[in-house]
Structure 1
């Protein structure tokens, strides 16, 4: 029986992202997917700046077409695509649709999932991943010290077994792995069943010139949602669970388009709109990620796919450190501590928005809505791998308000290197823990603990001398410790000579679950 450090079950968007992140970190693993490739239905479409930052760190963001700086997702109510447009709806109600483009080195991306997945597959293979499509998980057992999985190669009908130190379940909302583990879910539950038809219509693309991509179609006897994948593929979603014949689908498409246009039906879909969050994201040596952990409907904030990609970004560096014996296995407990509250936050934000609150039961208590910036770039995580992220702090806020708060994403700012290159401060992160400081005395402490040290105003320079202190919320003599996933783990206002070094040692040993 062969052995792998990590077994990933599910080779769609989140599973592939997990494979890319692990392979980039040099962690051998096997990914299995029962299907032969990507779904014929494009499914997810929009990816946030945070997701692109993860792909940037591993060096593949430039393979993904990104949206222009001034891009914003726009939706209108309309009698039809070619008919009267009755008014534009805000992304987040009550918030202007302006976007602060200075918060990230990347924009988002509007690329269909079936076009993004091949990019991820290629990257994973280049990094050394073992991807096994048409391979089905038949059974698994957590033996305490390992996972033993029974697999079937569906191409040849051969069954075989492998063992793994850990398993990541990215096997979808119906997750057989989650069900086998007996992990219950909570949330608003089933909202309704949605039917859709995917079709190709080049002539309809002319209506995208104004920048509107989503259309709520309201006609007598036709209420539907029309959107595009920006490649002449269009999706018409119905608000009912009625099976329509090809002729009925064609009639509905023509009515939604508003005038006679040539089109070809590609496929149809049927899926459950629901909100369910797993009560545990980990059991034993198995981790849930993506839809297996949190089932959320499509939103204009991209709370489905992007949340799953962020799950495995959070998990990958922790698995690396534990597998390499740089950290105790207790570090893996922080995955559930950090990611489940994020899943629940996004559940509440999804169903508190007017798009969905009208569909939930009356006993649902809506939460105040956070801004786009807060939800995309300003969520906070709390666990033993973060020092100073108290419960009194809000679950999300604009990055400009956080100012280096531990538990939040390290801020982006353009900096100049000693060689004269201009890079993002985020480009210095990703592989390992990093200590940022102005005072050179912190260098000795970093070296003693084998931390990467970034000497501010020497290795990199900000446009203004006091920028470091301002964006990280510390005094000039202080220091900031950033985790491999770009989350601020700890910061200090003490100088290295005034107790800062000992404070750093204690902090690092805790947040890294150091075995020393």
Structure 2
């Protein structure tokens, strides 16, 4: 029998990220993945700036960028009749404008999933290789009020019993765990069908002078997209809306794939080596709940969305970040079980919003019918700055303040940086001597209390917190100083004010000025955020 606090089922980016975060917070987990190794096809490629902030905070940003596509390919999207043919349109994504890049210390990154997963696997295995088991499948699962009892089986047929307090189901869109639990999904199923072709070919003659993340090909008999992987000889080609153009997945033999790729490039002479082919259908579905007793859905198991916008992987790994610190707080006795219900309350609205936006992107590109003329996307496509940075949580793990400003009218495209409770704590440059760093570099390990220059009472209060470490950074007290006006403008603290930031980088509570009893105020805020004293229901949503 293996006894472990958390069992993770699924070894893709979401499961591996959950394992890394749990280890970071001092929680042992066991991850099982039925496949023999990490992804062999590129699959997802876009890591948005919010995700890269998260990986920066756990020390993986440099490793990911080292295997990513050259950054110059991320600045443009191009439509054309073929790579060698007439251009139709160039688009510079709104997410990549100078103003929007200034919203974060970490820019977006194009890294295909088959290159990302080994980086994450090494990060997860750093806590102990026995905690990560590939070629190992969950075969039986029973849930009780005390946790889960599972049976796992390795490639040689050896079985082991596992007992865990909690289980993270990161087992993909076809999640067997979700099915067993009877959790329904709402939305649109099988919106359109596609085939991904992974191949080697030297496309530099057509892309060298116009690097782009996507090259969308618009022909009367073929609609597809070249997906940049390394920008030279390794690519993906996504053929969309198969059935509307008379294709079937069975047609895509290596020889037929080569023919299709040559047609899309616009030359019969190209040397092509097909590395892999995968057929799939795009759906837009969100689970009715992300929690059932001791089991939590994350990633595609919780929300399945079209890739138009690149939100699937990002939303999933951010689920893992949100859930991991809450599991750790409960398992360490710092929080009540009700805190775990806030995972659904916070992340399911995000999943619904990004799934809806991704679906609307796909519909605007005409992917549900045959098109005789080029169809360009809606204006929101790749301009979804609000969806990247603007998630505002409303749950028991946030203490609202009076007079909170209204959200932007366009929550998809617009983002207003603010340190209001529930919002992502914004990026602001700070200075300590010769060292320049971001407020974001302070987050990711535990609770952080940022104070104004006269915040000594808050620092003293943090030292009185028992059973939990609250790191304190005072800004403007002679040591650490604002590097520009962003700190004052975005955090809006008086000299004696304080803001409490959760381990996931979202603001939990704020006091814009000093108070008569800082110890009592901070303790009360933490008690609310951590749901202390709440009845341990364990029943989930």
TM-score exceeds 0.5 = yes
Corresponding residue for 1:483?
Answer: 502
The answer to whether structure 1 residue 352 and structure 2 residue 360 are counterparts is yes
1:23 and 1:128 in contact (8 A); partners too: no
The answer to whether structure 1 residue 296 and structure 2 residue 305 are counterparts is yes
Unmatched runs of 5 consecutive residues or more in structure 2: 370-377, 535-541
Unmatched runs of 5 consecutive residues or more in structure 1: 362-366
How far the C-alpha of 1:416 sits from its partner, in A, is 1.7
Q: 1:479 to 1:296 in 2, by over 3 A?
A: same
Q: 1:368, 1:180 → 2: CA distance? A: 40
How far the C-alpha of 1:500 sits from its partner, in A, is 4.9
SS of residue in 2 equivalent to 1:403: coil
The answer to whether structure 1 residue 441 and structure 2 residue 469 are counterparts is no
SS of residue in 1 equivalent to 2:19: helix
How far the C-alpha of 1:68 sits from its partner, in A, is 7.5
2:385 and 2:415 in contact (8 A); partners too: no
Q: 1:162, 1:354 → 2: CA distance? A: 42
TM-score, normalisation: structure 2: 0.87
Corresponding residue for 2:277?
Answer: 268
The answer to whether structure 1 residue 236 and structure 2 residue 254 are counterparts is no
Q: 1:326, 1:218 → 2: CA distance? A: 56
Q: 1:386 to 1:68 in 2, by over 3 A?
A: farther
2:184 and 2:287 in contact (8 A); partners too: yes
How far the C-alpha of 1:169 sits from its partner, in A, is 0.5
The answer to whether structure 1 residue 250 and structure 2 residue 258 are counterparts is yes
The answer to whether structure 1 residue 83 and structure 2 residue 85 are counterparts is yes
The answer to whether structure 1 residue 457 and structure 2 residue 476 are counterparts is yes
The answer to whether structure 1 residue 142 and structure 2 residue 125 are counterparts is no
Please give the per-residue CA displacement for 1:160-202, whole angstroms capped at 9, x wherever unaligned: 2110010001100000000000000011222022123221102
1:387 aligns with one of 374, 395, 399: 399
Q: 1:374 to 1:461 in 2, by over 3 A?
A: same
2:428 and 2:487 in contact (8 A); partners too: no
Corresponding residue for 2:49?
Answer: 49
Corresponding residue for 2:314?
Answer: 306
Q: 1:116, 1:483 → 2: CA distance? A: 26
Q: 1:185, 1:144 → 2: CA distance? A: 24
The range that moved more, 200-209 or 434-443, is: 200-209
Corresponding residue for 1:339?
Answer: 347
Runs of 4+ in 1 over 6 A off after TM superposition: 66-71, 397-400
Corresponding residue for 1:429?
Answer: 443
Q: 1:391 to 1:338 in 2, by over 3 A?
A: farther
Corresponding residue for 1:328?
Answer: 336
Equivalent pairs counted in the alignment come to 505
Q: 2:283, 2:154 → 1: CA distance? A: 32
1:378 and 1:398 in contact (8 A); partners too: no
Corresponding residue for 1:401?
Answer: 416
Q: 1:201 to 1:340 in 2, by over 3 A?
A: same
SS of residue in 2 equivalent to 1:317: helix
SS of residue in 2 equivalent to 1:337: helix
Q: 1:225, 1:468 → 2: CA distance? A: 42
Please give the per-residue CA displacement for 1:433-478, whole angstroms capped at 9, x wherever unaligned: 11111222222222112522212223421124x6533211333322
